[in-house]
């Protein structure tokens, strides 16, 4: 089901910037287990955020200001809504 959804998103957005959910693109790469312990979501999201940082590095190691400025203040999924077609740059208004 997720696979079919990812495919239809790819087709409808081909030629444009890929705008499908992050979880879909990552699950295609390496499955639900790449972020979820044994494939199941945690209660607090802590395991998932550790997973992001273990592949991408912690906020302070990013080159971009938007990441560095939030070191110690935010978790990845405060801005990246991974299971929806959402852009992190649209999250700013939620807090600022």
Q: Which positions touch ligand HEC (CB under 6 A)?
A: 2, 22-23, 25-27, 30, 32, 34-36, 41-42, 45, 48, 51-53, 55-56, 58-59, 62, 64, 66-67, 69-70, 73-74, 76-80, 82-83, 87-89, 91-92, 94-96
Q: Minimal distance in Å, beta carbon 68 to ligand HEC?
A: 9
DSSP 23: H
Q: Minimal distance in Å, beta carbon 92 to ligand HEC?
A: 3
Q: Which is nearer to ligand HEC, 16 or 89 (CB)?
A: 89
DSSP 27: H
For residues 80-96, one letter each, b for 16 or more C-beta atoms within 10 angstroms of the residue's C-beta and e for the rest, the string is: bbbeeeeeeeebeeeee
The answer to whether residues 75 and 45 touch, using CB atoms and an 8 Å cutoff, is yes
Structure tokens at 90: 């649209």
Q: Minimal distance in Å, beta carbon 75 to ligand HEC?
A: 7
């Amino acid at each position: 089901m997720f696979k079919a959804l990812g495919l239809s998103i790819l087709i409808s957005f081909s030629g444009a910037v890929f705008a499908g959910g992050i979880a879909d693109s990552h699950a295609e790469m390496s499955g639900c287990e790449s972020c979820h312990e044994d494939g199941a979501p945690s209660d607090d999201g802590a395991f998932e955020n550790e997973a992001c940082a273990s592949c991408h590095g912690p906020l302070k190691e990013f080159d971009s200001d938007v990441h560095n400025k939030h070191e110690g203040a935010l978790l990845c999924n405060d801005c990246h809504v991974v299971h929806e077609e959402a852009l992190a740059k649209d999250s700013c208004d939620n807090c600022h």
